[in-house]
């Protein structure tokens, strides 16, 4: 039986929608504490261990707070469950939401690892190649960054953002020496998971721009 058709999934889904509504109405209902949010997410996961939205949300929140290996493993677990269960119509949008939240937490190492794992299972869209280029550039691997931004442009040659990102990569490459390596970007302690949940990341500034023109 499809787990999404079970009562456990539907109950967890209802509870998750209720939590998101509470967070969006914080100005009227009062802000929820992080402890309360975490406890509610844990409850959903206990009821339905495969309910990946709660696993990802909890993992990203704990990653923001602690940044420990356990929180990384939770994000990875939720990501892999999502790959198996997600509606294909929303695939790129959901993946991009997770990647942007990882970027907000300055965990380009994790976003790159997950995207490379995804690339082993299916072809990446232009926006995901762009995200891989972003992560590689932030980690100092400019050779990989150039490869992925070129692939993004092959898939969507009219994207102004991708062309802009390619220019930034080439500029950094020219100033990195001859080995295609640059200094890894330092973590930003200001980054945190937005209160609205993992699917609605805030805008980020940096050496790359996230594409607004790619099909998601």
CA distance 210 to 119: 19
Question: Tell me: the pLDDT tens digits for 86-117?
Answer: 888 888 888 888 999 998 889 999 999 999 99
Q: Are 136 and 144 in contact (CB under 8 A)?
A: yes
The class that CATH gives domain 106-216 is mainly alpha
Confidence class for position 183, pLDDT limits 50, 70, 90: very low
- Say which residues have a Cβ less than 8 Å from residue 58's Cβ, sequence separation at least 6: 38, 41, 42, 45, 74
CA distance 72 to 67: 7
End-to-end CA distance of the chain: 29
Confidence class for position 160, pLDDT limits 50, 70, 90: confident
CA distance 107 to 209: 17
Tell how far CA 45 is from the center of its chain.
20
Burial 7-22 (b: 16+ CB within 10 A, else e): eebeebbebbeebbeb
Least confident of 94-103, 159-168, 202-211: 202-211
If you average pLDDT over every residue of the chain, what do you get? 78
Look at 34 and 7; give whichever has higher pLDDT. Answer: 7
CA distance 73 to 22: 27
Least confident of 14-18, 20-24, 178-182: 178-182
CA distance 35 to 66: 14
Alpha helices in the chain (DSSP H): 7-24, 26-29, 34-47, 52-65, 69-85, 91-104, 108-121, 126-138, 142-155, 160-174
Domain spans of the chain? Answer: 1-85, 106-216
């Amino acid at each position: 039986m499809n787990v999404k058709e079970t009562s456990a999934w539907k109950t967890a889904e209802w509870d998750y929608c209720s939590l998101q509504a509470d967070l969006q109405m914080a100005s009227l209902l009062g802000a929820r504490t992080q402890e309360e949010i975490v406890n509610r997410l844990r409850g959903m996961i206990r009821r339905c261990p495969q309910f990946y939205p709660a696993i990802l949300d909890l993992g990203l929140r704990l990653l923001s707070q602690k940044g420990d290996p356990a929180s990384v493993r939770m994000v990875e677990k939720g990501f892999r469950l999502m790959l198996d269960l997600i509606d294909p119509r929303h695939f790129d949008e959901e993946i991009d939401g997770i990647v942007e939240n990882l970027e907000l937490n300055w965990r380009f190492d994790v976003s790159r690892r997950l995207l490379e794992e995804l690339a082993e299972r299916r072809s990446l869209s232009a926006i995901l190649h762009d995200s891989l280029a972003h992560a590689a550039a932030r980690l100092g691997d400019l050779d990989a960054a150039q490869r992925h931004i070129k692939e993004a442009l092959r898939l969507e040659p009219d994207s102004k953002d991708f062309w802009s990102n390619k220019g930034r990569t080439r500029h950094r490459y020219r100033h990195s020496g001859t080995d295609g390596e640059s200094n890894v970007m330092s973590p930003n302690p200001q980054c945190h998971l937005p209160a609205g949940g993992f699917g609605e990341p805030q805008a980020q500034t940096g050496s790359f721009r996230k594409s607004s023109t790619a099909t998601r």
